[in-house]
Amino acid sequence: MKKEKLKCVCGTWTKPKMFRIEGFQVRGSECPKCGESYLNPDDAYRLSEYRKIKDAVLDAKVAMAGNSFVVRLPIELVRAMGLKKGETVHLSVSGPHEVVVRTDG
C-alpha cells in the first residue's frame, strides 16, 4: 500500500489505515496529529458507485449462450461490486423468486 502514505493538510505524514465504511474495506490513511483521514481513490470510487445503486432494483434480460442462460449485469452493478472479466461469482437461491450473486471481494 505504497500510495496510502501522504502528507496531511497540517503538514504531518499520514499512517496507512483500513477503514470500514458501510461494510466496505476502504484503504486509506490517517493523520496521527490532527486525525484527518484520506481514502484510496479507487476504493472511494467503488463506495460512491455502491451508494448510487444500493437498494435499487436493476432489470436484466435473460438470454441464451449455447445451452446456458445468460443474465447481463448492468454496468452500474459491475462498478459497484468491483467485478472483473473472468471473475467467478457465487449464485445461491434465497427464495422462490430470488437469486443472490456473491463476490469474493
Binding interface with Zn ion (CB under 5 A): 8, 10, 12, 31, 33-34, 36
Which CB sits closer to Zn ion, 1 or 34? 34
Provide the strand spans (E) within 1-105. 15-21, 24-30, 37-39, 62-65, 68-71, 90-95, 98-102
Report in angstroms how near the CB of residue 10 gets to Zn ion at its nearest: 3
Which CB sits closer to Zn ion, 34 or 71? 34
DSSP state of 3: G
Report in angstroms how near the CB of residue 6 gets to Zn ion at its nearest: 10
**Residues 25 and 33 sit within 8 Å (Cβ to Cβ):** no
Report in angstroms how near the CB of residue 77 gets to Zn ion at its nearest: 36
Report in angstroms how near the CB of residue 37 gets to Zn ion at its nearest: 9
Which CB sits closer to Zn ion, 18 or 34? 34
Torsion of CA 54, 99, 67, 82, to 10 degrees: 30
- For residue 16, count CB atoms less than 10 angstroms from its CB and return exposed for 0-12, middle for 13-18, buried for 19 or more: middle
Which CB sits closer to Zn ion, 10 or 100? 10
